[in-house]
A and B are shown apart, each in its own frame.
Chain A
Amino acid sequence: MSNKCQCVDKPPNGLIVLALIIRGEKSEEALKRRNGTANTMATSVPSLAIPGQRLGSANTYAAGPGTHIQQTNIFASIAGPVILDPAQPNTQSKATLRVTRILSTAAQSSPAAAFAKSKPRYNTLPAVDSIVLARVTRVQKRQAAVSILVVLDETSAPNADLTKAASDNDNIASILTSAANPENHSSTDELRFQAIIRKEDVRAVEKDRVVMEDMFRVGDIVRGCVLSLGDQTSYYLTTARNDLGVVMARSEAGNMMFPVSWKEMRDPVTGAGEQRKVARPY
């Protein structure tokens, strides 16, 4: 490949530093090269994949997220590192191939550092069971409307152990503080996915005694779990778990509050308590 790719000197518009130019090659050569790579890939799974790259046979592997099957072969559909999840003997017989969007794998460095460095990408779509952080935009009698800020990494969500979750929080702290700032509220809402927390999905116990006003206030940041894709406008979230609920909130006085119990948060300055459906802090 190196004889066909070459780095050239600075392109006309100084914007780009690293240049990659491939001389127009005859199609036969291109074809040959493709076939060549395809053959080598049949034996081993590549570590990095680009869309359209063949990863392996569907007979050997199961296709996970970020891949698609065509003609009994698994192809990558996004660019990213290829991850091979080993077969679980009791549930599935084949190892699962997936291509991840997260551009830092935990294996490469310590998770916290990886999260801190990689720039957050928002283009993961909320799916059923994914954990999201959302800001409350409206509280009504029967439901609260929220706007989804970020979808947390689906791989870390199910086994949310302490360190990882903490690093999650570190990473998104900047997003949250900017989102929790009332000045930033109105502008970006159209660009975010909207969701609804219904009264019956707020908590698991005493469902009929829920008063929405005492659970959420506009501006709160809520950790929720996606229940359903919902109707054409809104997703449905639930907070009916101990680890779900309000994670950040400002008091009436405008100070950031800290949680004191599963249903109360307190203003450190005034000392006044306010009622919330609080997520279990770590």
Chain B
Amino acid sequence: MNDRRRVNGPPGGTRPPVYASLLQSGTGADTRAQRQRQPTDLRKIFLKTGLIPSASGSSYLEFEPSASLAAARSNPKSLIPPSSALKLACTVHGPKPLPRSAPFSPNLVLTTHVKYAPFAARKRKGHVRDSSERDLGVHLETALRGAIIAERWPKSGLDITVTILEAEDDRWWGDVPDSHDASWGMMNVLAGCISAASAAIADAHIDCLDLVSGGVAALVSDDSTDSPSALPKLMLDTDPAEHRSIVSACVVAYMPARDEITELWLKGDSSKVSTADGDQRSGHEALIDGAVDAARGAHTVLAEAVRESLQKTLGQS
């Protein structure tokens, strides 16, 4: 569908393997990683700008691997990693002149590309962007366009490219490929893309209203609780591999200085949520607030990283 110049094999003809160890242990519940963090605890973020000299701005972002993943990597027992960690790089090219054919634009014209490295996820991605990558690109563009002061850059274009080196998967590798099948991992990837792109834009000295940062929150109903009627709980910065069932999730791009959201993507059934007594918020409101809290956390990292690179450059001269 996407590649019109080559004849590709039938898509989806192959599947990642199913491991025998899982068959014996049923669903492999014993090897499965559980969330160790508190519901409001965020993962650490590694963020650095200005790594790619040929680009006018660049950044590299990494989510801290979960404790169990670190352990599994140092002492591999199973082929199945307990979880995945996000690693991505973002480059900004421009502002540069628009192509000759393009019409006059009084504003900066933004183009975003999000591409998974072929090895980034459990299932190999092709070299041609698929629909989920295009979808992410649109989300990212929406998030950034609200933050950029586009009228300061008439007649010019800005290309933003995000390469995902390791993606947050939609589920635990050991799970059957079909369990909670919605692409929850994409939302974490998007949040990472937003924060990284924001840092790269600041690195390129493009005018923006604020450092826009991404955050994820989810309503999770894990089977660990005995009563099946338990309401889903709100968790920030969820790693899909650590949860059996994510009921709904939400990612925001948020600008703390203005308390504004430039991009919101919420999906799943958020009608039921276990909230604290006296909390009158409905499920989706709690979810959005949670995601904003997560984005605030990411913003502090973002601000530090930008400030640090600034000081470093000034120190050199």
Contact = CB atoms under 8 A, between A and B. Distances in A.
Given A16-B60, A123-B95, A4 B317 contact: no
A108 B317 CA distance: 9
A51 B300 contact: no
A52 B60 contact: no
Given A22-B300, A24-B237, A53-B257, A70 B209 contact: yes
B137 interface: no
B86 to A, nearest CB: 13
Given A21-B301, A51-B207, A103-B317, 19 more contacts: A19-B46, A20-B304, A20-B305, A22-B45, A22-B301, A24-B41, A24-B44, A24-B297, A50-B202, A50-B303, A51-B306, A52-B209, A78-B208, A79-B310, A108-B317, A118-B317, A193-B97, A232-B102, A232-B104
B174 to A, nearest CB: 23
A130 interface: no
A24 B60 CA distance: 18
B258 interface: yes
B251 interface: no
A31 B312 CA distance: 27
B149 A77 contact: yes
B87 to A, nearest CB: 8
Which of B64, B96, B317 is most buried by chain A, counting CB atoms within 10 A of its CB?
B317
A104 B314 contact: yes
Interface string A1-44: 00011000001100110111111111100110110000000000
B104 A68 contact: no
Given A51-B208, A75-B210, A123-B94, A23 B293 contact: no
Closest 6 CB pairs of A and B: A24-B42, A52-B210, A27-B293, A232-B104, A52-B257, A104-B317
B158 to A, nearest CB: 10
A30 B299 CA distance: 9
Interface in B20-74: 37, 40-48, 51, 56, 60, 62, 64
B296 interface: yes
Contacts of A4: 300
Interface size class of B (residues with CB under 8 A): 35 or more
A30 B300 contact: yes
Contacts of B103: 232
Contacts of B144: none
B317 A75 contact: no
Contacts of B94: 123
7 contacts: A20-B46, A23-B42, A25-B297, A50-B202, A52-B257, A114-B317, A231-B104
Interface string B97-110: 11110111000000
A19 to B, nearest CB: 6
Nearest to A6: B44
Contacts of B311: 48
A51 B96 contact: no
A103 to B, nearest CB: 5
Given A194-B97, A232-B102, A123 B204 contact: yes
A259 interface: no
B100 A78 contact: no
A66 interface: yes
B135 interface: no
A103 B313 contact: yes
A30 B45 contact: no
Interface in B74-115: 94-100, 102-104
Nearest to A109: B317
Contacts of A190: 97, 99
A103 B209 contact: no
Interface in B145-200: 149, 152-156
A114 B310 CA distance: 16
Contact of B308 (A20, A26, A27, A229): A20
Given A24-B41, A50-B307, A79 B202 contact: yes
Given A4-B300, A231-B104, A51 B211 contact: yes
